[in-house]
Chains A and B, each alone.
Chain A
Amino acid sequence: DIQMTQSPSTLSASVGDRVTITCRASQSISSWLAWYQQKPGKAPKLLIYKASSLESGVPSRFSGSGSGTEFTLTINSLQPDDFATYYCLHYNSYSNTFGGGTKVEIK
Protein backbone atom coordinates (compact mmCIF):
# COMPACT_ATOMS: atom_id res chain seq x y z
CA ASP A 1 0.00 0.00 0.00
CA ILE A 2 1.10 3.54 -0.74
CA GLN A 3 1.79 5.72 2.31
CA MET A 4 1.44 9.50 2.26
CA THR A 5 3.61 11.48 4.67
CA GLN A 6 2.86 15.14 5.29
CA SER A 7 5.17 17.67 6.89
CA PRO A 8 5.18 19.58 9.06
CA SER A 9 2.33 18.35 11.26
CA THR A 10 1.93 21.85 12.69
CA LEU A 11 2.99 25.17 11.28
CA SER A 12 2.85 28.59 12.95
CA ALA A 13 2.59 31.53 10.59
CA SER A 14 1.44 35.14 10.41
CA VAL A 15 -1.01 36.84 8.09
CA GLY A 16 0.84 37.73 4.89
CA ASP A 17 3.37 34.87 5.17
CA ARG A 18 4.12 32.43 2.39
CA VAL A 19 3.45 28.90 3.63
CA THR A 20 4.59 25.60 2.13
CA ILE A 21 3.32 22.15 3.07
CA THR A 22 4.95 18.99 1.75
CA CYS A 23 3.46 15.58 1.01
CA ARG A 24 5.65 12.59 0.14
CA ALA A 25 4.44 9.33 -1.35
CA SER A 26 6.10 6.01 -0.56
CA GLN A 27 6.21 5.28 -4.30
CA SER A 28 5.49 7.20 -7.46
CA ILE A 29 1.88 8.31 -7.82
CA SER A 30 2.33 10.40 -10.98
CA SER A 31 0.12 13.46 -10.41
CA TRP A 32 -2.76 11.69 -8.67
CA LEU A 33 -2.80 14.03 -5.73
CA ALA A 34 -5.29 16.45 -4.26
CA TRP A 35 -5.15 18.97 -1.44
CA TYR A 36 -7.94 19.74 1.01
CA GLN A 37 -8.60 22.40 3.62
CA GLN A 38 -10.62 21.52 6.71
CA LYS A 39 -11.88 23.88 9.38
CA PRO A 40 -13.15 22.71 12.78
CA GLY A 41 -16.61 21.17 12.58
CA LYS A 42 -16.70 21.36 8.79
CA ALA A 43 -16.25 18.93 5.94
CA PRO A 44 -13.02 19.11 3.93
CA LYS A 45 -12.91 21.43 0.93
CA LEU A 46 -11.09 20.56 -2.29
CA LEU A 47 -8.40 23.09 -3.18
CA ILE A 48 -6.13 21.40 -5.74
CA TYR A 49 -6.49 18.29 -7.88
CA LYS A 50 -4.12 16.52 -10.25
CA ALA A 51 -1.27 17.96 -8.14
CA SER A 52 -1.45 21.47 -9.58
CA SER A 53 -4.95 22.22 -10.92
CA LEU A 54 -6.85 24.81 -8.93
CA GLU A 55 -10.45 23.85 -8.14
CA SER A 56 -13.04 26.34 -9.34
CA GLY A 57 -13.72 29.09 -6.83
CA VAL A 58 -10.51 28.59 -4.85
CA PRO A 59 -8.40 31.75 -4.43
CA SER A 60 -5.33 31.96 -6.63
CA ARG A 61 -3.04 32.36 -3.60
CA PHE A 62 -3.27 28.57 -3.30
CA SER A 63 -1.05 26.57 -5.63
CA GLY A 64 0.18 23.01 -5.90
CA SER A 65 3.22 21.48 -7.51
CA GLY A 66 5.11 18.23 -7.82
CA SER A 67 4.84 14.81 -9.37
CA GLY A 68 6.08 11.32 -8.66
CA THR A 69 6.75 11.18 -4.93
CA GLU A 70 7.07 14.77 -3.73
CA PHE A 71 4.36 17.41 -3.72
CA THR A 72 3.88 20.83 -2.22
CA LEU A 73 0.96 23.07 -1.38
CA THR A 74 1.86 26.75 -1.25
CA ILE A 75 -0.26 29.52 0.17
CA ASN A 76 0.95 32.95 -0.89
CA SER A 77 0.12 35.82 1.46
CA LEU A 78 -1.68 33.84 4.17
CA GLN A 79 -5.10 35.27 5.01
CA PRO A 80 -7.04 35.00 8.31
CA ASP A 81 -9.48 32.59 6.64
CA ASP A 82 -6.61 30.21 5.80
CA PHE A 83 -5.89 29.09 9.36
CA ALA A 84 -7.07 25.48 9.16
CA THR A 85 -5.84 21.92 8.73
CA TYR A 86 -4.66 20.80 5.31
CA TYR A 87 -4.60 17.24 3.97
CA CYS A 88 -3.11 15.70 0.88
CA LEU A 89 -4.90 12.80 -0.77
CA HIS A 90 -3.54 10.22 -3.18
CA TYR A 91 -6.48 8.99 -5.21
CA ASN A 92 -7.04 6.25 -7.74
CA SER A 93 -9.94 4.07 -8.75
CA TYR A 94 -9.42 1.36 -6.14
CA SER A 95 -7.74 2.99 -3.17
CA ASN A 96 -7.31 6.40 -1.64
CA THR A 97 -4.83 7.49 1.01
CA PHE A 98 -4.78 10.71 3.00
CA GLY A 99 -1.73 12.29 4.52
CA GLY A 100 -1.73 12.87 8.27
CA GLY A 101 -2.60 16.55 8.02
CA THR A 102 -0.89 19.89 8.66
CA LYS A 103 -2.43 22.35 11.07
CA VAL A 104 -1.68 25.96 10.17
CA GLU A 105 -1.85 28.05 13.32
CA ILE A 106 -1.62 31.74 14.02
CA LYS A 107 1.86 32.75 15.17
Chain B
Amino acid sequence: EVQLLESGGGLVQPGGSLRLSCAASGLTFSSHAMSWVRQAPGKGLEWVSAISGSGGSTYYADSVKGRFTISRDNSRNTLYLQMNSLRAEDTALYYCAKDRVGGDGFDMWGQGTMVTVSS
Protein backbone atom coordinates (compact mmCIF):
# COMPACT_ATOMS: atom_id res chain seq x y z
CA GLU B 1 0.00 0.00 0.00
CA VAL B 2 1.34 3.41 -0.99
CA GLN B 3 1.69 5.81 1.93
CA LEU B 4 2.87 9.40 2.05
CA LEU B 5 3.55 10.92 5.45
CA GLU B 6 4.31 14.62 5.79
CA SER B 7 6.06 16.19 8.75
CA GLY B 8 7.87 19.37 9.73
CA GLY B 9 5.01 21.84 9.92
CA GLY B 10 4.55 24.27 12.77
CA LEU B 11 4.35 27.89 13.85
CA VAL B 12 7.00 30.22 12.44
CA GLN B 13 7.42 33.98 12.46
CA PRO B 14 7.23 36.03 9.26
CA GLY B 15 10.61 35.94 7.53
CA GLY B 16 11.46 32.61 9.10
CA SER B 17 12.24 29.24 7.57
CA LEU B 18 10.86 25.72 7.79
CA ARG B 19 11.64 22.43 6.09
CA LEU B 20 8.86 19.99 5.32
CA SER B 21 9.43 16.30 4.71
CA CYS B 22 7.31 13.65 3.04
CA ALA B 23 8.26 10.02 3.67
CA ALA B 24 7.02 7.62 1.01
CA SER B 25 6.52 3.87 1.29
CA GLY B 26 5.01 1.12 -0.80
CA LEU B 27 6.24 2.44 -4.14
CA THR B 28 9.36 2.73 -6.28
CA PHE B 29 9.89 6.30 -5.18
CA SER B 30 12.44 7.31 -7.80
CA SER B 31 10.02 6.37 -10.60
CA HIS B 32 7.55 9.09 -9.73
CA ALA B 33 7.50 12.85 -10.01
CA MET B 34 6.23 14.43 -6.81
CA SER B 35 4.58 17.71 -5.92
CA TRP B 36 3.67 19.88 -2.98
CA VAL B 37 0.15 21.31 -2.92
CA ARG B 38 -1.16 23.64 -0.24
CA GLN B 39 -4.55 24.70 1.05
CA ALA B 40 -5.03 27.82 3.13
CA PRO B 41 -7.68 27.51 5.85
CA GLY B 42 -11.12 27.49 4.25
CA LYS B 43 -9.69 28.03 0.77
CA GLY B 44 -9.02 26.02 -2.36
CA LEU B 45 -6.06 23.98 -3.52
CA GLU B 46 -2.87 25.63 -4.81
CA TRP B 47 -0.04 23.77 -6.50
CA VAL B 48 3.30 24.86 -5.03
CA SER B 49 6.15 22.91 -6.58
CA ALA B 50 7.07 19.74 -8.44
CA ILE B 51 10.17 17.63 -8.93
CA SER B 52 10.99 14.90 -11.43
CA GLY B 53 11.70 11.36 -10.33
CA SER B 54 15.45 11.80 -10.65
CA GLY B 55 15.36 15.19 -8.98
CA GLY B 56 17.00 16.77 -11.98
CA SER B 57 14.05 19.02 -12.86
CA THR B 58 12.16 21.28 -10.50
CA TYR B 59 9.22 23.62 -11.01
CA TYR B 60 7.60 26.29 -8.86
CA ALA B 61 4.49 28.41 -8.67
CA ASP B 62 5.21 32.10 -9.12
CA SER B 63 4.00 32.74 -5.57
CA VAL B 64 6.92 30.79 -4.05
CA LYS B 65 9.64 31.06 -6.70
CA GLY B 66 12.90 32.20 -5.17
CA ARG B 67 11.75 31.44 -1.62
CA PHE B 68 10.97 27.71 -1.64
CA THR B 69 13.20 24.85 -2.77
CA ILE B 70 11.96 21.34 -3.53
CA SER B 71 14.32 18.39 -3.34
CA ARG B 72 14.27 14.65 -2.85
CA ASP B 73 16.47 11.88 -1.49
CA ASN B 74 15.62 8.75 -3.42
CA SER B 75 17.84 6.63 -1.16
CA ARG B 76 15.63 7.64 1.77
CA ASN B 77 12.32 7.70 -0.19
CA THR B 78 11.79 11.24 1.06
CA LEU B 79 10.60 14.48 -0.50
CA TYR B 80 11.46 17.87 0.98
CA LEU B 81 10.30 21.46 0.78
CA GLN B 82 12.63 24.11 2.16
CA MET B 83 10.61 27.25 2.81
CA ASN B 84 12.45 30.53 3.42
CA SER B 85 11.29 34.12 3.83
CA LEU B 86 7.91 32.89 4.95
CA ARG B 87 4.91 35.21 4.77
CA ALA B 88 1.51 35.20 6.42
CA GLU B 89 -0.01 34.16 3.11
CA ASP B 90 2.03 30.95 3.17
CA THR B 91 -0.11 29.75 6.09
CA ALA B 92 -1.72 26.54 4.84
CA LEU B 93 -1.97 22.79 5.08
CA TYR B 94 0.81 21.41 2.90
CA TYR B 95 0.22 18.12 1.11
CA CYS B 96 2.73 16.03 -0.76
CA ALA B 97 1.28 14.29 -3.79
CA LYS B 98 2.50 11.61 -6.15
CA ASP B 99 2.16 11.92 -9.91
CA ARG B 100 0.04 9.30 -11.55
CA VAL B 101 2.00 7.04 -13.94
CA GLY B 102 2.00 8.90 -17.24
CA GLY B 103 1.84 12.22 -15.47
CA ASP B 104 -1.95 12.42 -15.47
CA GLY B 105 -2.49 14.36 -12.29
CA PHE B 106 -1.82 13.33 -8.70
CA ASP B 107 -3.15 9.96 -7.65
CA MET B 108 -1.89 9.69 -4.08
CA TRP B 109 -1.78 12.32 -1.35
CA GLY B 110 -0.48 12.49 2.19
CA GLN B 111 -2.58 13.71 5.09
CA GLY B 112 -0.87 17.10 5.14
CA THR B 113 1.21 19.12 7.59
CA MET B 114 0.10 22.53 8.83
CA VAL B 115 2.30 25.59 8.49
CA THR B 116 1.29 28.74 10.34
CA VAL B 117 3.20 31.96 9.72
CA SER B 118 2.42 34.47 12.44
CA SER B 119 4.12 36.74 14.93
Instruction: Encode contact with A along B106-119: 1 for CB under 8 Å, 0 otherwise.
Output: 11011110000000
Q: Does A12 contact B (CB under 8 A)?
A: no
Complex: chain B residue closest to A56, CB-CB: B107
Query: Known: A43-B95, A96-B47. Is A1-B62 also a contact (CB below 8 A)?
Result: yes
Instruction: Encode contact with A along B43-58: 1 for CB under 8 Å, 0 otherwise.
Output: 0111100100000010
Stretch at the interface among A17-25, A46-54, A67-75, A76-84: A46-54
Provide the bound-state CA to CA distance between A75 and B105, in Å: 20
Q: Does A104 contact B (CB under 8 A)?
A: no
Question: A93 touches which one: B37, B103, B110 (CB < 8 A)?
Answer: B103
Q: Does A97 contact B (CB under 8 A)?
A: yes
Query: Known: A50-B104, A94-B59, A96-B35. Is A44-B109 also a contact (CB below 8 A)?
Result: yes
Number of interface residues of A (CB under 8 A): 26
Whether A98 contacts B104 by the Cβ 8 Å rule is no
Q: What residues on A are CB-neighbors of B47 within 8 Å? A: 89, 95-98
Provide the bound-state CA to CA distance between A55 and B75, in Å: 30
Whether A87 contacts B103 by the Cβ 8 Å rule is no
Provide the bound-state CA to CA distance between A95 and B59, in Å: 7
Provide the bound-state CA to CA distance between A101 and B43, in Å: 9
Q: How far is the CB of A44 from chain B (nearest CB, A)?
A: 6
B1-50 interface with A by 8 A CB criterion = 33, 35, 37, 44-47, 50
Provide the bound-state CA to CA distance between A25 and B43, in Å: 20
The listed residue with most A CB atoms (<10 A of its CB), out of B33, B44, B46, B112, is B44
Provide the bound-state CA to CA distance between A42 and B101, in Å: 23
